Structure 1
Amino acid sequence: MTPFTQLSDIPALAQSLPVADQVARDAALARQNSLTKPPGALGRLEELAIFMAGWQGTDRPGIDQAQALIFAGNHGICAQGVNPFPQAVTAQMVANFQAGGAAINQLCQINGAALQVIALDLDNPTKDFTTAPAMSEAETLDAMNRGAAAVDTGADILVLGEMGIGNSTIAAALAAALFGGSAAEWVGPGTGSDPAGIGRKIAAIETGLRRHGGQGAMATLAALGGREQAAICGAVLAARAARIPVILDGFICTAAAACLHAADPRLLAHCLVGHASAEPGHRRLLAALGQTPVLEFDMRLGEGSGAALALGILRSALACHNGMATFGEAGVSEA
């Protein structure tokens, strides 16, 4: 898609980006209701197949090519002691992803997704948002454009995830700024913060909200977010331009995409949320977005793991939708 040049332009994209094909959705629903089962008997699997039909523009959607993108960034807010692990772990985990040793590698392999890991200036963390905006507009746009450029427009589905020490604090700050409530209502343990660490996260977010609160959605992304959050937003928009449905991962990934929802809820119409994270703020965020996760497995790993696992459920939904016989084909009476 055309590179992003101004954050203020993002909300208006909802007017011009593609929308779901209602004719294809209706045809997919009709097929579901003719398959050898009571209507609605496959529950959410039927909804997922119809969702895919709308975005692929066909009553027989499929997934031949799945792409998974993991964006990694480092954060200045770590200066406030919000992270139980050192920032060096971000680069170490990126190396682990690249070597094939992480959970996301195994889940992508078994569920048929091509994984790409993109490290975003790890040696140049964002600024500490308690003292200054985390990113300038130019830095935010750069990360968004890098995220958009990573999207394979030939893919049938896009799985999104992230890696970044300190970014559960970023997610809670974004959620609080966008949807209200106290910092304490959004903060959780992340990768294992103890009560004192959680207290530092709350204090940092409260300071950030006092300094940067009351701005528009995309300005909030710049003020409180990180490069991986901005890249996720860019990838979501590029996928929408190519009519590619998206599976978002847990709390951190969803909070990043929530910036687009706050800009205009229509910008996330092509997105599913793969799972409900055990991080406590995620359920509150899902309610604010009106999203029902595909899975609830008490996961809180990040790195796209819940979204990749949900890809297997989506493949199962389409296998039933396309492979089952209709009543007429099977010679089974409907009455």
Structure 2
Amino acid sequence: MEFNIQPLSNEDLKTNLQSKIDNKTKPVGALGTLEQIALQVGMIQNTESPILKEPAIVVFAGDHGIAKQGEVNPYPQEVTAQMVYNFLNQGAAINVFCNQHQIQLTIVDAGVNHDFESIPGLVDAKIAHGTRNYQHEAAMTADQCSTVIRKGADIVKAIFDSGSNIIGFGEMGIGNTSAASLLMAYFTKIPVAECVGNGTGNGSEIVDTKQRILNKVFEKHSVTSPMEALATFGGFEIAMITGAMLKAAELKMTIVVDGFIVTAALLAARALHPEIIDYCIFAHNSNEQGHQKMLEFLGQKPLLNLGMRLGEGTGVAVAYPIIASSIAFLNSMASFESAGVSNA
């Protein structure tokens, strides 16, 4: 798919927004990052009075061929499907946080190795029953990768059409930190060993095994383009997030970026369309080893650092009220003139 993503280059609007922010009844810059968020969202929405409508999070679930062997993941592959049922039964952390903050939650089967019956609340976008094992061959074909991108875009378009203008993404897939590590190594040129963290496991033995296996995988494949990297190393859920992010930016939605795996999808999206970064707010610094390096590569500072590494979009849900506060002060806080307060 081709995406038309425009850079945020309206300098007159930027000047007017900054003036509106600076003339609130406070010292210039006193609200710190909230002021930066207000400016960015105003630029994205092309208005001095932005509003947040129908906040949404989409959790994409998919399985990975390498996870069948259990060498890089302490949990069995069946956990992916079990967690999808948990999402649908309102039992996961992302359910709790979305309910707390009135965020619309959508669960998508991007390629889980399980046959779900028709279940209310589950979007069926299954490409296959998991990717292939990239220890032996590319995770997906080029055609599958293109289809995944399109399906992610179509899901976001439907959410946009329902009234949403701010969106975040989560994921579920046993083995997906391995895929994210390989994508990180490709896009950032950081050695694989520095990209690999605990994932769902604990302890140095798991990390050492992952590093050894994934380094061999990285050396096996000769990859020459962002789409080829996504097809070779990615998961269906990761590639679907890439397409979803690109469409969200095209539609001028504010994108709230979660942790390690979602940021890996963003690295691919950025390689295809660098302008997408203008539309992104980074929710938190994941406790997964590679995420801080990803953020440094992108030159971004996240809103929160809570030691989280759960995935599911939980960082987005927890950070959303901060973004809402930034828009509230911009629209509702008095100016020096309206309050009759002397300015410096």
Q: TM-score, normalised by structure 2?
A: 0.91
Contact 2:64 2:130 survives alignment (8 Å): yes
Asked whether 1:128 is paired with 2:117, we answer: no
Select 1:59's aligned residue among 31, 36, 48: 48
Contact 2:5 2:273 survives alignment (8 Å): no
Q: Distance in 1 between matches of 2:11 and 2:213?
A: 45
Partner of 1:177 in structure 2? 186
Once the two structures are TM-superposed, the CA of residue 121 in structure 1 deviates from its matched residue by 2.3
Task: Give the match's secondary structure for 2:111.
Answer: coil
Partner of 1:33 in structure 2? 22
Once the two structures are TM-superposed, the CA of residue 194 in structure 1 deviates from its matched residue by 2.9
User: Percent of pairs identical after alignment?
Assistant: 37
Partner of 1:7 in structure 2? none
Contact 1:24 1:59 survives alignment (8 Å): yes
Correspondences of 1:1-335 after superposition (within 5 Å): 4=1, 13=3, 16-20=4-8, 21-78=10-67, 79=69, 81-123=71-113, 124-151=129-156, 152-153=159-160, 154-335=163-344
Once the two structures are TM-superposed, the CA of residue 204 in structure 1 deviates from its matched residue by 2.1
Q: Distance in 2 between matches of 1:107 and 1:68?
A: 11
State the AA in 1 paired with 2:192.
Answer: A
State the AA in 2 paired with 1:63.
Answer: L
Contact 2:80 2:174 survives alignment (8 Å): yes
Once the two structures are TM-superposed, the CA of residue 322 in structure 1 deviates from its matched residue by 1.0
**Structure 2 unaligned runs (5+)?**
114-128
Contact 2:230 2:268 survives alignment (8 Å): yes
Task: Give the match's secondary structure for 1:161.
Answer: strand
Contact 2:63 2:174 survives alignment (8 Å): yes
Once the two structures are TM-superposed, the CA of residue 307 in structure 1 deviates from its matched residue by 1.1
Q: Distance in 2 between matches of 1:127 and 1:30?
A: 53
State the AA in 2 paired with 1:18.
Answer: Q
Q: TM-score, normalised by structure 1?
A: 0.93
State the AA in 1 paired with 2:47.
Answer: T
Quote the RMSD (CA, aligned, Å): 1.4
Q: Distance in 2 between matches of 1:177 and 1:212?
A: 11
Runs of 4+ in 1 over 6 A off after TM superposition: none
Q: Distance in 2 between matches of 1:50 and 1:169?
A: 36
Contact 1:187 1:202 survives alignment (8 Å): yes
State the AA in 1 paired with 2:30.
Answer: A
Q: Distance in 2 between matches of 1:52 and 1:311?
A: 13
State the AA in 1 paired with 2:208.
Answer: G
Q: Distance in 1 between matches of 2:139 and 2:28?
A: 50
State the AA in 2 paired with 1:252.
Answer: I
Contact 1:17 1:241 survives alignment (8 Å): yes
Matched residues, number: 323
Once the two structures are TM-superposed, the CA of residue 26 in structure 1 deviates from its matched residue by 2.4
Contact 2:145 2:227 survives alignment (8 Å): no
Once the two structures are TM-superposed, the CA of residue 214 in structure 1 deviates from its matched residue by 4.1
Q: Distance in 1 between matches of 2:186 and 2:202?
A: 22
Call closer, same or farther: CA 1:262–1:298 in 2, change over 3 Å: same
State the AA in 2 paired with 1:195.
Answer: S
Q: Distance in 2 between matches of 1:121 and 1:225?
A: 12
Call closer, same or farther: CA 1:22–1:106 in 2, change over 3 Å: farther
Q: Distance in 2 between matches of 1:185 and 1:75?
A: 21
Once the two structures are TM-superposed, the CA of residue 274 in structure 1 deviates from its matched residue by 0.8
Once the two structures are TM-superposed, the CA of residue 310 in structure 1 deviates from its matched residue by 1.2
Call closer, same or farther: CA 1:119–1:183 in 2, change over 3 Å: same
Q: Distance in 2 between matches of 1:54 and 1:300?
A: 31
Contact 1:229 1:257 survives alignment (8 Å): no
Contact 1:216 1:263 survives alignment (8 Å): no
Contact 1:129 1:223 survives alignment (8 Å): yes
Once the two structures are TM-superposed, the CA of residue 80 in structure 1 deviates from its matched residue by 5.6
